Structures are given as structure tokens and as C-alpha cells.
């Protein structure tokens, strides 16, 4: 597997390999990754059973409301969160901003999200993620986008949804798109796979690997719009490996209770009795924005190429 | 023979895949009643704090403890942490094995690594092991036997009777020998 020379010997073995980068995502499966903006939030998330936290300065709903350029968070703030919890800590870099990624790697974050939620720094190129020892997660709306990101070195994928809206419709659209395309691959012969790879602008080798596996070659979470335990279980039943929750928890009236309920809903996603129990009395969900009435220019899922 | 895999969170599907390759029927365990008709259990890699919370909320801790008293259990990574009686100050999770474990012993994710390990019980061919934010065994007691160490001597695989623990992830590679070894323990031949 390609490692582009970033692997090193640590005295015991090789670090920074594709296997260990993808492997951490495999350990997060069946879990919930929560956006947090303070060490206190991070503790609440960990106590609720989050498998990891995403450290950022503003949750997507606030980035939408406040506008302006959204950048990587202050290293001091990220470090405060790293020191507050024992679970893995992720942080976001702008699309194409490889220096923000270098800073996050040096800081010791466990995963970098090259994220459309921040303002893109490069309108043509994503970060060459093979150059890093730290693993990356990237967003996608369809199979072609997912495989382009994996080709650039992403060790984990998340469907984009529409962040900061609390509306699940786009997350559903993107998860159905990816899984539907993978199902279609399984019925194609080799000749058709060549053409399909060209049409979706993805490397043939990854298209073929996906067809053989019957799934993406890396872990795939859902993101962008999850606000309730039912939303989280819906995404799990649609076949994703786990769920990111951004604004949905800390923009609700009872974050600790909602966070715990969403964690339980992801584990017991096929058990309606438990879903009833965890959905009760959670207080107000985040207010939300209806994506279907949103101006096209306000949508952020289109960022990334 | 039916082997359960604790499916609260983590890499449980990966374990199931290998067990199925070896012709073994598997079952996902999320609630206490799922322990009733299985012969052995694997606690997979994942986040140990998440697994602890979910096990506690769904009253699995005591049933897991009772299960581990007389039936084979294998913990990988987070599963090793779950089985340890001493995890450094914190309350143990299942707490069935006489081992002391240091969580995240190697640092952060960029320090995760892969290495070849020698196992006397597996013969001369090394086992390629994936360590991800891995724990380490810092002390053993009772009847615990060391199965493998890193080149610097630190302990990464142990057995105590019908209980097995590995700090790395055999579920992430195609080498089925440790799963076969666990099946031999279940069959009473290990």
C-alpha cells in the first residue's frame, strides 16, 4: 500500500502507514463523533459515550449565523480539549490548506477533517494527504468524490449532508447516492467499470476495489444535519459505519442527555423499543434550517472538487 | 460452537468476518440476554470509555463478569482494557484478568504502528500486529502467561486459563492464527 515515504520506525515498528491510519477509523465504527468548542463540552461528550470529539471554535450553525471566513481553530483551544479527554481528538483544516494540516499534525491531533464547513483555501486542489502521518477524514456527496479523496490519501470518509442545518435530508441524499452507486458497480463487468471510473472521475483501481469489496475501501460515517437519535439510527440503517453530530448536540436545550441518547441510538439502531426509550423527553432539538428553502449560495456541501 | 462479539461500539464486524472465514457461527452481543446462547465472547477494539458507558447503561457489566468466570473471553485492545483488573486508578470494566494495563501507552495516533511479533504458541512465522493508540500490560499476577512481547520486552499478549488478551488488532489483518488459537482454547485443546 502506498505510504509516500512518511512512514518511520519508532523502535518497535512502522508508524504512519495506511493500515494504522485507516485502522483508527475502524475503531471508531458504531460510534458518535461530536463537535465541541470547549474542554467542558469535550468532557460532556466523553461522559455521554462519544467515540471521539471534533475540536473547533464555532459549531457549523454559528459559522452560518455569523458568516466571515472560517479557519482552523486556535491551537491553544485544541490543546485544551486534547488535555481534557482520553478519547481521540479530531480538528478541522480548510480544504487545500496543507499548512493548517501541518500545524494540526504537530499539535498531536488524532485525525484531521479537511472540511467544507470551513472556508476553502484552494478552489482546485485538496491536501495531498499521503504526505502526512496523521490520518484524514474528508466529506463526499457521491462515490466519485469519495474515491477522489481516498486517492489523495483520505483514511476515512463522511457523507457531507448540509452542516449546521439540523435537516437530515442532504445526509440521506448523499448516503443513498454513495451506496446506490456501489450497488450498481457490483452488476458491472470489467469493460463497464473502466467507463464508469472515467465518468465519475475516480481512479479505476479504487473503483475496482470498491466493486470487489461491495463497500468503500475505508470507513464511512454520516455527517451534516443529524439532530435526533432517530436521525442517527436512520443513517445507520442506511448503511453508514457511524455518525458525526455537529451543531445538533450543543445547540439543543439538554446537550448531555441528547448526546447520550444519540450514542445509544447508534449502538441499538435496529432496536425500536430502545429507540423509543432514548427519544423521550430530550427537550428542544436545535431549531434548524430547512434545506429545501435555503438559497443555493448558502449551501456548503458544494465546496470541494 | 457459537462465538459472540460484543457489538456496543468498535471493530466487531471485522472479528465476525474472520470467525465466519473459519466456519464459526457468530452473534452480536448488545444486551445481557445475547450472552445466553454463546460459548465464548470476543471484546473488540474500539473506544474503551464508550464501551464502558454503554455496558453500564444496559446492565451488561455484571453478566459479562459472570460470563468471563467460566467461559472463554478474548479482548483485543479496548477489549484488553475491559478485561484487566487494574487500569490505573479507574474502576475496572469487566475486571476478569490479573493484569495491570496502561491505556494509550504509546502516545497519540501518529505514534500508532505495525510490527512483527513472535509467539511461541504460533510457531516460527511472526504475527504482523497493528497497534492503534494501544495499551500495554505493565504487570501480571496469578496464573497469567505472557504470549508475546515487543522487541523492547514490553508485554502485548497474555493468557490466563480461558481468558486471552492482545494489545493489538488481529481483526485488521488476514492472519487467522490467533482466532484459531482462541477457538482451540474454546474447544479445550489450547
Q: Which of A12, A20, A267 sits opposite B30 (nearest CB)?
A: A267
Q: Is the CB of residue B167 less than 8 Å from the CB of residue B7?
A: no
Question: DSSP assignment of A112-138, as one string?
Answer: EEEETTSPPS-SS----GGG-SS-EEE
A8 pLDDT band, cuts 50/70/90, is: confident
Domain with B26 in it: 2-186
Query: What pLDDT is attached to residue A10?
Result: 79
- Could you give the maximum distance between any two Cα atoms of chain B, in Å? 44
Higher local confidence (pLDDT), A260 or A5: A260
Residues of B in contact with A27 (CB under 8 A): 10-11, 45-47, 77-78, 132-133, 169
**Confidence category of residue A41, pLDDT binned at 50, 70, 90:** very high
pLDDT tens-digit readout, B1-59: 999 999 999 999 999 999 999 999 999 999 999 999 999 999 999 999 999 999 999 99
pLDDT in tens, A249-280: 999 999 999 999 999 999 999 999 999 999 99
The torsion angle over the Cα atoms of residues B26, B31, B34 and B36, rounded to 10 degrees, is: 140
Nearest of A56, A88, A50 to residue A247 by alpha carbon:
A56
Average pLDDT, chain A: 94
What does the pLDDT read at residue A11? 76
Residue A51 confidence (pLDDT) above 60: yes
Distance in angstroms (rounded) separating the CA atoms of residues A282 and A31: 20
Cβ pair B10:A20 closer than 8 A:
no
Q: What is the pLDDT of residue A5?
A: 58
C-alpha cell at A12: 518497535
What CATH number is given to the structural domain containing B105?
3.40.50.880
Under the banding of pLDDT at 50, 70 and 90, the label for residue A218 is very high
Distance CA B54, CA A49 (A): 7
Distance (Å, rounded) from C-alpha A64 to C-alpha A57? 13
B113-117: strand order across its sheet:
A8-9, A14-15, B113-117, B127-131
- pLDDT category of residue A82 using cuts at 50, 70 and 90: very high
Q: Is the pLDDT of residue A3 over 90?
A: no
Q: How far apart are CA B174 and CA B24, in angstroms?
A: 16
DSSP H or E segment with residue B132: none
Nearest to A301 by CA among A132, A167, A200, A170: A170
Residues of B in contact with A86 (CB under 8 A): 49, 103-104
pLDDT digits (tens, 9 = 90+) for A121-167: 999 999 999 999 999 999 999 999 999 999 999 999 999 999 999 99
Say what percent of chain A tops pLDDT 90: 84
Count structural domains, chain B.
Answer: 1
Q: Which residues contact B95 (CB under 8 A, 6 or more apart)?
A: B65, B83, B84, B85
CB atoms A51 and B9 under 8 Å: yes
Complex ipTM more than 0.85, yes or no: yes
Nearest to B8 by CA among B34, B38, B40: B34
**Among B113, B136, B167, the residue to mutate for chain A (most A Cβ within 10 A):** B113
Q: Which residues of B touch A47 (CB under 8 A)?
A: 53
Amino acid at each position: 500500500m502506498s505510504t509516500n515515504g512518511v512512514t518511520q520506525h519508532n523502535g518497535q515498528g512502522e508508524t504512519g502507514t495506511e493500515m494504522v491510519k485507516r485502522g483508527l477509523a475502524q475503531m471508531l465504527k458504531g460510534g458518535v463523533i461530536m463537535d465541541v468548542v470547549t474542554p467542558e463540552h469535550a468532557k460532556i461528550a466523553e461522559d455521554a459515550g462519544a467515540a471521539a470529539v471534533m475540536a473547533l471554535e464555532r459549531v457549523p450553525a454559528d459559522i452560518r449565523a455569523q458568516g466571515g471566513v472560517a479557519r482552523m481553530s486556535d491551537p491553544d483551544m485544541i490543546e485544551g480539549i486534547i488535555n481534557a479527554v482520553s478519547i481521540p481528538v479530531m480538528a478541522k483544516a480548510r480544504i487545500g490548506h496543507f499548512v493548517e494540516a501541518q500545524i494540526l499534525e504537530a499539535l498531536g491531533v488524532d485525525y484531521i477533517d479537511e472540511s467544507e464547513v470551513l472556508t476553502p483555501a484552494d478552489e482546485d486542489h485538496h491536501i495531498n494527504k499521503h504526505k502526512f502521518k496523521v490520518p484524514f477524514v474528508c466529506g463526499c456527496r457521491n462515490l466519485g468524490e469519495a474515491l477522489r479523496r481516498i486517492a489523495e490519501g483520505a483514511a476515512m470518509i463522511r457523507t457531507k449532508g448540509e452542516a449546521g442545518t439540523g435537516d437530515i435530508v442532504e445526509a440521506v441524499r448523499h448516503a443513498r447516492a454513495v451506496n446506490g452507486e456501489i450497488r450498481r458497480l457490483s452488476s458491472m463487468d470489467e469493460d463497464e467499470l473502466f467507463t464508469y471510473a472515467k465518468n465519475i472521475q475516480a481512479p479505476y483501481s479504487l473503483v475496482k476495489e470498491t466493486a470487489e469489496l461491495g463497500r468503500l475501501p475505508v470507513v464511512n460515517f454520516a455527517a451534516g444535519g443529524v439532530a435526533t437519535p432517530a436521525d442517527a439510527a436512520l443513517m445507520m440503517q442506511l448503511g453508514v459505519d457511524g455518525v458525526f453530530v455537529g451543531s445538533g448536540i450543543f445547540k439543543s436545550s439538554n446537550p448531555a442527555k441528547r448526546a447520550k441518547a444519540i450514542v445509544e441510538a447508534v449502538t441499538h439502531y435496529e432496536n425500536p423499543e430502545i429507540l423509543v426509550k432514548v427519544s423521550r423527553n430530550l427537550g428542544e432539538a436545535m431549531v434548524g434550517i430547512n434545506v429545501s428553502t435555503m438559497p443555493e449560495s448558502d449551501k456548503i456541501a458544494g465546496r470541494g472538487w | 460452537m457459537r462465538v459472540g462479539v460484543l457489538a456496543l461500539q468498535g471493530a466487531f464486524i471485522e472479528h465476525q468476518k474472520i470467525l465466519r472465514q473459519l466456519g464459526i457461527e457468530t452473534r452480536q452481543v448488545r444486551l445481557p440476554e445475547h450472552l445466553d446462547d454463546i460459548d465464548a465472547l470476543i471484546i473488540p477494539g474500539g473506544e474503551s470509555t464508550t464501551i464502558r458507558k454503554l455496558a453500564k447503561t444496559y446492565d451488561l457489566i455484571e453478566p459479562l463478569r459472570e460470563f468471563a468466570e467460566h467461559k472463554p473471553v478474548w479482548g483485543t485492545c479496548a477489549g484488553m482494557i475491559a478485561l484487566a483488573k487494574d487500569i490505573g486508578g479507574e474502576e475496572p470494566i469487566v475486571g476478569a484478568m490479573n493484569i495491570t494495563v496502561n491505556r494509550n501507552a504509546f502516545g497519540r495516533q501518529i505514534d500508532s504502528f505495525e510490527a512483527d511479533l513472535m509467539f511461541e504458541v504460533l510457531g516460527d512465522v511472526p504475527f504482523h500486529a497493528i497497534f492503534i493508540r494501544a495499551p500495554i500490560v505493565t504487570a501480571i499476577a496469578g496464573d497469567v502467561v505472557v504470549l508475546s512481547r515487543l522487541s523492547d520486552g514490553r508485554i502485548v499478549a497474555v493468557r490466563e486459563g480461558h481468558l486471552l488478551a492482545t494489545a493489538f488488532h488481529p481483526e485488521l489483518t488476514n492472519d487467522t492464527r490467533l482466532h484459531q488459537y482462541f477457538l482451540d482454547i474454546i474447544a479445550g485443546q489450547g
